[in-house]
A = this chain, B = another copy of it.
Amino acid sequence: MQQIVSDAHSYAARWIGAGKTADYIPQLAKADAGLLSVCVTDVEGNSFFAGDSAVRFTMQSICKVVLLITALQDVGFEGVFQKVGMEPTGDPFNSIVRLENVSPHRPHNPMINAGAIAVTSCVKGNSADVRFRRLLDTTRLLVGNPLLEYSEEVYRSELETGDRNRALAYMMRQGGIITGSVSQHLEVYFKACSILVSCREISYLGAVLANNGVSPRTGEALIPPGYIKIIRALMCTCGMYDFSGEFALRVGIPSKSGVGGGIMGAVPNRMGVGVYSPALDVHGNSLCGVKAMEYLSRVLELSIF
């Protein structure tokens, strides 16, 4: 397995230089486009990695999975899915059009920005701080690192450049999808996006999802089993932005990507995968990351299809 992970790294490294780092936040644009790390954690808890695996990066949209898990625990299946749909859209992740054009005016799924903000509004707590702490604690548990923190600098940057997300939130409050303080919901959401993780940690999160919610190391049940298929299905149909369909076809691993350059995948009953490389393709997915996952899927026959 170690050899295969190293080979996946070498294979993906051929595309270093081909993508470009996210430019909508200055902090993301500054990332070193040459970085690449690949990590696999199997459901026995063994990890194999290659490349710059110590580098930390912000979760960005990968946090949408943690938001969904927390919201499901807080308000249940019906509570979450009265505010957000389950359908892929084929639109860019930050699109606002369907909130106006398609009735009911709820966002189409929890993996686009509008949907993730609606899901955030389901996370309980009587202050932004309490709500974010609960999310951070859940994330720490799921990635197996009790010292996880968020980047205040990236969070500030998100706040400054977050007008599109504000527009989405106000459209949804107008439509009755969310209630309460938009700025509080966005504080929680932006901080969640800014949580710093390593490639190894997201492979561990993937392994928990692969292992039906049970920690591969401690055997502890971290996510109710009833939610696992929901999360893995949504990752598969909606997790890779408007490349989700092609990714299903080419890779076939339920995955969630973030514009920070990370991709987290969960191969049911087998393993979690984490890749990191900050240069993105046109869809907003890590370009080398997708290549590494293609390689792993082909060689290890990981596609669920």
**What is A's interface to B at a CB cutoff of 8 Å?**
85-91, 95-102, 108-109, 163-164, 166-171, 173-174, 228-230, 232-234, 236-238, 242-246, 248-249, 252, 254, 268, 303-305
Contacts and interface: CB of A to CB of B under 8 A. Distances in A.
- Of the candidates A86, A169, A228, the one having the most CB atoms from chain B within 10 angstroms of its own CB is A86
Contacts of A244: 87-88, 237
Contacts of A171: 96, 163-164, 167
Contacts of A238: 245
Given A163-B174, A238-B245, A268-B305, 19 more contacts: A86-B245, A86-B249, A87-B90, A87-B242, A87-B243, A88-B88, A90-B90, A163-B170, A164-B171, A167-B169, A167-B170, A167-B174, A229-B252, A230-B249, A233-B245, A233-B305, A236-B248, A254-B305, A268-B304
7 contacts: A167-B167, A167-B174, A229-B305, A233-B252, A236-B236, A236-B248, A268-B304
B249 A229 contact: yes
A213 to B, nearest CB: 13
B97 A237 contact: no
Contacts of A95: 100
Number of copies: 4
Contacts of A86: 245-246, 248-249
Contacts of A248: 86, 233, 236-237
Chain A to chain B: the 9 pairs with minimum beta-carbon distance, closest first: A87-B245, A163-B174, A167-B170, A88-B88, A166-B170, A89-B90, A232-B305, A233-B249, A167-B171
Contacts of A109: 245
A170 B183 CA distance: 13
Contacts of A236: 236-237, 248, 305
Contacts of A164: 170-171, 174
Contacts of A167: 96, 166-171, 174
